[in-house]
Structure 1
């Protein structure tokens, strides 16, 4: 990951795997993995975060919190088939906006 983007495949294989997470940006970041509810999108996640109402359109699956610049961590996830979002909620020091509002979210699929 780097400032305001995730460098990762659009499709991952279902099952348990360990992923290397590297922060190549000058700001701290996190990587939260959210499984989307059926029919929901990354934009639904942002809309719910801006005005939470009803159940969230996702379920948190795992991730890495507070990864410093140049930091490396490993995370193990057991992903099931479906639609997911990688997202960072850390606020940008200049604007105060969460990184996901500056484009740091990526939709991806998990397939068997």
Structure 2
């Protein structure tokens, strides 16, 4: 997936779970220039962390077919990684390790 830009680092975001599994959306600040390939390399090999902060923010578990709203205020303009750490219902591996992550840039 390519890096995407969100026009604002603050606001209310509509999150839709269109899958048949529970998902979450953790938001973690990334080092400038991080790509989805960098994030996957980190999960695959334990390589250099692409994260610029130790903390997470975001949205907890959302059931299949449900919609949730996440309000974020005063988030600094930067690159962020959206992640889902809910374990896969078949393998038990957290979704992020299997590629469920997305780098976005907030302006």
* 1:86 paired residue among 77, 82, 91: 82
Larger strand percent: 1
Structure 1: runs of 5 or more not aligned: none
RMSD: 2.9
* 1:57 paired residue among 51, 60, 63: 51
1:45, 1:56 within 8 Å by CA — same for their partners in 2? no
Structure 2: runs of 5 or more not aligned: none
Q: CA deviation at 1:15?
A: 3.8
TM-score by length of 2: 0.75
* 1:10 paired residue among 4, 12, 15: 4
* 1:30 paired residue among 24, 35, 38: 24
Evaluate the alpha carbon distance shift between residue 41 and residue 81 of structure 1 in structure 2; reply closer, same or farther with a 3 A threshold: same
Aligned residues: 103
Determine helix, strand or coil for the equivalent of 2:96: helix
Structure 1 stretches of 4+ with a deviation exceeding 6 A read none
